[in-house]
A = this chain, B = another copy of it.
Amino acid sequence: MNSLRCESVGLVETQYFKLQKQEKFHLALGGQLNYIDIAYETYGKLNNDKSNAILICHALSGNAHVGGYHQGDKKPGWWDAMIGKGRALDTDKYFVICSNVLGGCKGTTGPISINPDTNQPYGLSFPIITIKDMVNVQYQLLKYLGIKKLLSVIGGSMGGMQVLQWMALFPEKILSAIPISTTLKHTAQQIAFNEIGRQAIMADPNWKGGFYYGKSIPAKGLALARMLGHITYMSEKSMEDKFGRQRKGQPYPFRFNADFEVENYLHYKGDKFVERFDANSYLYITKAMDLFDITASGKTLDDIFRRLNAKILVIAFKSDWLYPIHQSKEIVKACKRAGLQTTFCEIASEYGHDAFLLEIEEQSHLISNFLKTVYKENKIKPLL
| Interchain CA distance A128-B221 in the complex, whole Å | 26
Query: For the complex formed by this chain, how many copies does it contain in all?
Result: 2
- Which of A174-232 touch B at CB < 8 Å? 185-189, 191-193, 195-196, 198-200, 202-205, 220-221, 224, 227-228, 231
Contact B224 A200 (CB under 8 A): yes
- The distance in angstroms between the C-alpha atoms of A234 and B188, with both chains bound, is 11
CA distance A204 to B290 in the complex (A): 26
| Bound Cα distance A195, B287 (Å) | 25
Question: Is A291 located at the chain interface by the 8 A CB criterion?
Answer: yes
Contacting residue for A290 out of B185, B199, B259, CB 8 A? B259
Type the 1/0 row for A234-245, where 1 means its CB is closer than 8 Å to any CB of B: 101001101111
Main secondary structure of the interface of A (DSSP, over half): helix
Within 8 A of B (CB), among A230-272: 231, 234, 236, 239-240, 242-245, 252-253, 255-256, 258-260, 262-263, 266
The answer for the CA separation of A255 and B202 in the assembled complex, in Å, is: 11
* Contact call B255/A124, Cβ cutoff below 8 A: yes
Whether A188 pairs with B239 at a CB distance below 8 angstroms is yes
**A124 contact set on B, CB distance < 8 A:** 255
CA distance A181 to B201 in the complex (A): 32
Quick check: B236 and A324 within 8 Å, CB to CB? yes
Q: Check A128 against B253 for contact (C-beta < 8 Å).
A: yes
A29 contacts B by Cβ under 8 Å: yes
A187 to B258 CA separation, bound complex (whole angstroms): 15
User: From residue 262 to 288 of chain A, which have CB atoms closer than 8 A to chain B?
Assistant: 262-263, 266, 283, 287
The answer, yes or no, to whether A321 is at the interface (CB within 8 Å) is yes
CB within 8 Å for A252 and B187 given contacts A195-B263, A224-B199, A259-B290: no
Contact indicator B244/A188 (Cβ below 8 Å):
yes
Docked pose: A244 CA to B290 CA in angstroms: 11
Given A199-B224, A200-B224, A203-B221, do A188 and B29 touch, yes or no (CB 8 Å)? no
Most buried by B among A202, A224, A293, A324: A224
Q: Which residue on B lies nearest to A243, using beta carbons?
A: B188
Determine if A30 is an interface residue (Cβ-Cβ < 8 Å): yes
Residue in B185, B196, B234 whose beta carbon sits within 8 Å of that of A228 in the complex: B196
Residues of B within 8 A of A199 (CB): 220, 224, 227
Kindly list chain B residues whose C-beta atoms are within 8 Å of the C-beta of A231. 189, 192-193, 196
* A291–chain B nearest beta-carbon distance, Å: 7
Report whether A196 and B240 are in contact in the complex, using a CB–CB cutoff of 8 Å: no
| Given A29-B252, A200-B200, residue A236 in contact with residue B187 (CB < 8 A) | yes
Quick one: which of B195, B259, B262, B287 contacts A266, CB cutoff 8 A? B195
Q: For residue A291, which residue of chain B has the nearest CB?
A: B253
Q: Contact: A227 with B128, CB < 8 Å?
A: no
* Bound CA–CA A187/B240 (angstroms): 6
- List 14 additional A-B contacts (Cβ < 8 Å) besides A187-B244, A187-B245, A236-B324: A29-B253, A30-B252, A188-B240, A188-B260, A188-B262, A191-B245, A192-B239, A192-B262, A195-B262, A195-B263, A196-B228, A198-B256, A205-B205, A259-B291
Chain A residues near B (Cβ < 8 Å): 29-30, 124, 128, 185-189, 191-193, 195-196, 198-200, 202-205, 220-221, 224, 227-228, 231, 234, 236, 239-240, 242-245, 252-253, 255-256, 258-260, 262-263, 266, 283, 287, 290-291, 293, 321, 324
